[in-house]
Amino acid sequence: MLIGGSNLNESRVMKRPLDIVVLSDVHLGTIGCRAEELARYLNSVKPGKLILNGDFIDMWNFRKYYWPEKHMQVLKSILNMMSEGTEVFYLTGNHDEVLRKISPLVLGGLEIRDKLVLNLDGRKCWIFHGDVFDVTMKYSKWLAKLGAVGYDLLIMLNNSINMLLKLMGSGKISLSKRIKQSVKQAVKFIDDFESTAADLAIDNGYDFVICGHIHQPKIKKVHNEQGSVQYLNSGDWIEHMTALEYNEGEWNLYQYQQEALSAMEVHLPSVKTGNLLETIFAA
C-alpha cells in the first residue's frame, strides 16, 4: 500500500527505537564539533535513555560569540526527545567539570551526575567519563585503585591535584597534548586507560564499564586474574562520530554514515525549552 508523503517526511517518522544511546565528547561550542551530523543522528533515533557521557558542552573552550545554529539544533533535538519521553543523563567530564559543583541534580527529565550505574537485564553497568584517570595514570597506578573505595574520592583527588598543578603554574593535564606527543605514547596511553577502567570495573563486580574521554570508540572483552568485563567507549563527535546503542540486551557501536542520514531534515519544529537552556546560552 502506498503511504502519502515525501521521503523526507517518512524519514522523520521512522525513528529507530532503542533502549539506550550513549554519546561522549561532543564538545559543543567548539569549531571541531560535528553538530550537523549529530543533529541528524539524534533525529533518527528514539531511545528510552540518552546518556551524554562527559564533555558534551565544552566549557573550557567556550567562546561567547561562537554558537552556530547547528549547535542549537543539537540541543533542540535533545529537548525534542525529552518531550517524547526520553530520560536524559548528563554525566560530567573534564571540559564541563564546573557542573560537578552542582551534581547530582535532577531538573525534570534531565539528571546531571558524575557517574551512573544501570541494571541492564540483570547485569551491572558502570558509566563515567574517565578523566579521573588522567591524574592517577600520570602519578601512579595504585592511586587509580582508590576508585575501588569510591569514584567520588577519585574526582576529589583529581581536582586537588589539578588545583596544586595550577598553583605550581603548570596548568591542568591536557589529554590532547599527551595524545599528540607520539604514536607510540598515544597507543600506550590508550592501553593504560582501557586497562585501568577495566581492572577497576572487575574489582567492583561490574559486567560493563562505559567511558568516553580518550576519543577512541571501542567494544571489547577484557580479562584479568580476577575476572572479566566488557569495556566500551562511545568515541567522540569531533572525529569518529560514533555512539553506543543498547537494544534487545546487546551493545552495538554506531558509526555515522553521511549517505544514510544526509536526506534527513535537520530543522525541527521549534520546541518550548522552558527557556532555561536558551537563557544560559544567550548570556
Residue 47 or 130: the one with the smaller Cβ distance to Mn ion is 130
Cα 158–161–163 angle (5° rounding)? 105
* One of 27, 213, 215, 240 touching Mn ion (CB under 5 A): 213
d(CA 185, CA 192): 10
* Residue 12 three-state SS: helix
* One of 55, 114, 199, 236 touching Mn ion (CB under 5 A): 55
Residue 55 or 194: the one with the smaller Cβ distance to Mn ion is 55
Name residue 79's amino acid.
Answer: L
Residue 93 or 217: the one with the smaller Cβ distance to Mn ion is 93
Q: Is residue 162 within the footprint of Mn ion (CB under 5 A)? A: no
Q: For the window 109-148, what string marks contact with Mn ion as x by the rule CB under 5 A?
A: ----------------------x-----------------
Q: How far is the CB of 162 from Mn ion (least distance, A)?
A: 13
Strand 110-113 to strand 87-91: parallel, antiparallel, or no bridges (unpaired)?
parallel
Q: At a CB cut-off of 8 Å and minimum separation 6, what does 83 contact?
A: 271
Strand 16-23 to strand 45-53: parallel, antiparallel, or no bridges (unpaired)?
parallel
What residues between 14 and 53 interact with Mn ion by CB under 5 A? none
Strand partners, 187: none
Q: For the window 94-113, what string marks contact with Mn ion as x by the rule CB under 5 A?
A: x-------------------
| Contact assessment for residue 98 and residue 62, using Cβ atoms and an 8 Å cutoff | no
The residue of the chain with the least Cβ separation from Mn ion equals 213
Q: How far is the CB of 175 from Mn ion (least distance, A)?
A: 6
Span from 77-85, 184-192, 213-221, 264-272 in contact with Mn ion (CB under 5 A): 213-221
Q: How far is the CB of 131 from Mn ion (least distance, A)?
A: 5
* Residue 127 three-state SS: strand
Residue 76 or 215: the one with the smaller Cβ distance to Mn ion is 215
Q: For the window 67-96, what string marks contact with Mn ion as x by the rule CB under 5 A?
A: --------------------------xx--
d(CA 81, CA 245): 16
Residue ranges of alpha helices (H) inside 123-257 are 132-139, 141-144, 151-167, 175-181, 183-203
Site size toward Mn ion (CB under 5 A) is 5
Residue 94 or 158: the one with the smaller Cβ distance to Mn ion is 94
Per-residue cell: 231: 569495556
Burial of 279 from C-beta contacts in 10 A (0-12 / 13-18 / 19+) = exposed
Residues of this chain that bind Mn ion (CB under 5 A) = 55, 93-94, 131, 213
